[in-house]
């Protein structure tokens, strides 16, 4: 019999995510996928899943599910209260798994052994909130089936992982393709100030509040390809840091990119948290 | 040609114009550098994203510098014909902008050899570029809802809305062809390099509503093709 669980509560937003849809950007199809890939991949490893198995991405806790049969699961990323973290665990038939509010961070990953088995769309089970591709966000009453395909359980009881940082976070920034659209004062302002993460942030991007950046030139940029971690500067002068569901192309200049190793930390930023960019 | 930084795992190639983009993209597609994940053409640029476990940005840069743009960029792709009912709300405005009749707008749009330059805005939305110099301003106030299948013009491009969405392009008509269909493989009908010809599928009754055709023989020729 297929293992499954029923969703009792979703919290602010719960979606199904995997590694997304790479290789289709030329068709206007973004990659999407888990925002904090390291946490997502760890969750899969802890339950013996294949690397691309679909898991749940829970935004600011609040997910509650009841098992229809015995399930093995692991929870990583933003550490929610009331649940085992970074370790494989068993949920017995009829038991409820209830994620509280995370101590730090924003996105928590729940991987189930066998993977979440929803229909893939264009090679991925990820929900892309910008393009509308993939399954709809998880809603109360959803009964979600699990796959049967997995490897052996790993020989670990607990993965030693630091919590996502609370307080001010500093990430490395590299000059982007349109660095020269901004004055040196603009670059200094980007790397010198402490931004505040806006509540308008989502899987498309982290919107930042702070002092606007000074442009060196006016005019419009023909739309161009943009990748994960781009710091796009719209006319407001306030950066938008692109996350997993970012548009494939954009028409505002990209002053810089967050270095790849720091992208997962950006996916864990909460509204109100402080963010700094350092250029070395 | 300039190669610009674009994050930890991509480079952005800036070219002189859209034709160069088409030629450069065609060359990259024909002989992609090692480790390529995505090649994203746009108006003046081609972004190339690589898998750093396979290659490095330095190796990518060498490959990009050695890529010779193809000359036959507009002839390479296969041709798709799109039947269009020319009943768009902005036909009259476009005719005024071009200083010609509505029939002449339809004639030019169907006579044009369109090529998909790049995609964006929404999955399956292709920016089609022609051989002649189209330059149509966007509507001053965008519509909040443009129906799926709308065939439109803006700037140097023509396009087909894959689904209902907001939009500021000038609407010429509509097609029943689904440019993006998840139940089809490939889902996206229009990929960069593909050539497109629009065919006038307006019903005779609708056509006569537009007044006397300045070139009725041409219109019937198109229908019989």
Lowest-pLDDT choice from B71-75, B177-181, B220-224: B220-224
Distance in Å from the first CA to the final CA of chain A: 54
**Residue A148 and residue A1: Cα distance in Å, rounded?**
10
Sorting pLDDT into bands at 50, 70 and 90, what band is B214? very low
Q: Does A227 touch chain B (CB under 8 A)?
A: yes
Cβ-in-10-Å burial (0-12, 13-18, 19+) of A197 comes to buried
Per-residue pLDDT at B73: 61
Which of A270, A202, A193 has its CA nearest to residue A238? A193
Contact indicator for B73, B57 with CB cutoff of 8 Å:
no
- Indicate the residue of B10, B42, B123 with minimum beta-carbon distance to A131: B123
Beta bridge partner(s), residue A174: A257
Per-residue pLDDT at B203: 63
Contact indicator for B120, A249 with CB cutoff of 8 Å:
yes
Per-residue pLDDT at A2: 87
pLDDT digits 0-9 by tens, B13-55: 999 999 999 999 999 999 999 999 999 999 999 999 999 999 9
**Residue B168 and residue B121: Cα distance in Å, rounded?**
12
Per-residue pLDDT at A275: 98
Per-residue pLDDT at B121: 86
Between chain A and chain B, how many beta carbons pairs sit less than 8 Å apart?
Answer: 117
Sorting pLDDT into bands at 50, 70 and 90, what band is B216? very low
Per-residue pLDDT at B65: 97
pLDDT digits 0-9 by tens, B82-110: 999 999 999 999 999 999 999 999 999 99
- In chain A, the largest separation of any two C-alpha atoms, in whole Å, equals 63
Q: Mean pLDDT over residues B162-186, rounded?
A: 94
The answer, yes or no, to whether residue B223 has pLDDT greater than 80, is: no
pLDDT tens for chain A, residues 1 to 280: 689 999 999 999 999 999 999 999 999 999 999 999 999 999 999 999 999 999 999 999 999 999 999 999 999 999 999 999 999 999 999 999 999 999 999 999 999 999 999 999 999 999 999 999 999 999 999 999 999 988 999 888 888 999 999 999 999 999 999 999 999 999 999 999 999 999 999 999 999 999 999 999 988 899 999 999 999 999 999 999 999 999 999 989 999 999 999 999 999 999 999 999 999 7
Per-residue pLDDT at B123: 94
Chain B partners of A133 at a C-beta cutoff of 8 Å? 123, 182
- Indicate the residue of B10, B14, B45 with minimum beta-carbon distance to A227: B10
Per-residue pLDDT at B71: 81
- Shortest Cα–Cα distance, B192 to chain A (Å): 7
A223/B43 CB distance under 8 A: yes
Sorting pLDDT into bands at 50, 70 and 90, what band is B77? confident
């Amino acid at each position: 019999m297929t293992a499954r669980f029923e969703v009792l509560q979703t919290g602010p937003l719960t979606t199904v995510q995997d590694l997304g849809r790479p290789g289709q950007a030329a068709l206007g199809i973004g990659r999407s996928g888990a925002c904090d890939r390291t946490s997502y991949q760890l969750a899969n490893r802890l339950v013996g899943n294949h690397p691309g198995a679909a898991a749940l991405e829970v935004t600011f806790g609040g997910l509650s599910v009841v098992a229809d049969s015995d399930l093995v699961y692991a929870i990583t990323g933003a550490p929610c209260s009331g649940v085992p973290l970074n370790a494989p665990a068993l949920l017995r038939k009829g038991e409820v798994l209830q994620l509280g509010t995370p101590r730090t961070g924003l996105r928590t990953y729940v991987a189930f052994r066998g993977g979440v088995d929803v229909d893939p769309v264009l090679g991925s089970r990820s929900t892309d909130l910008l393009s509308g591709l993939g399954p709809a966000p998880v809603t109360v009453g959803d009964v979600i089936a699990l796959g049967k395909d997995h490897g052996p359980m790993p020989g670990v009881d607990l993965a030693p992982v630091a919590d996502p940082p609370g307080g001010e976070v500093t990430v490395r920034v590299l000059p982007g393709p349109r660095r020269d659209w901004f004055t040196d004062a603009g670059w200094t302002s980007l790397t010198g100030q402490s931004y505040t993460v806006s509540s308008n942030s989502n899987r498309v991007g982290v919107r930042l509040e702070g002092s606007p950046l000074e442009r060196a030139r006016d005019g419009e940029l023909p739309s161009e390809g943009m990748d994960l971690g781009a710091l796009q500067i719209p006319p407001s002068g306030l950066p938008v840091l692109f996350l997993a569901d970012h548009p494939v192309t954009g028409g505002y200049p990209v002053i810089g990119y967050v270095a790849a190793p720091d992208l997962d930390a950006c996916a864990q930023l909460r509204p109100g948290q402080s963010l700094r960019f350092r250029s070395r | 040609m300039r190669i610009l930084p674009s994050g930890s795992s991509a480079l952005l190639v800036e070219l002189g114009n859209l034709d160069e983009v088409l030629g450069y993209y065609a060359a990259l597609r024909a002989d992609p550098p090692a480790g390529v994940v995505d090649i994203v053409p746009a108006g003046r640029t081609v972004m190339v994203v690589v898998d750093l476990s396979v290659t490095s940005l330095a190796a990518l840069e060498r490959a990009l510098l050695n890529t010779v743009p193809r000359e036959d960029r507009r002839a390479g792709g296969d041709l798709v014909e799109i039947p269009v009912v020319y009943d768009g709300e902005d036909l009259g405005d476009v005719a005024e902008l071009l200083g010609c009749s509505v029939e002449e707008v339809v004639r030019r749009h169907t006579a044009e050899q369109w090529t998909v330059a790049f995609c964006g805005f929404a999955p399956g939305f292709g920016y089609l570029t022609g051989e002649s110099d189209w330059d149509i301003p966007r509507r001053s106030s965008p519509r909040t809802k443009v129906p799926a299948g709308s065939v439109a013009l803006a700037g140097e491009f023509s396009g087909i809305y894959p689904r209902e969405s907001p939009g500021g392009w000038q609407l010429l008509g509509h097609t029943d062809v689904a440019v993006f269909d998840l139940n089809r493989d490939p889902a996206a009908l229009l990929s960069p390099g593909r050539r497109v010809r629009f065919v006038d599928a307006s019903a005779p009754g609708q056509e006569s509503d537009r007044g006397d055709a300045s070139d009725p023989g041409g219109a019937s020729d198109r229908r019989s093709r």
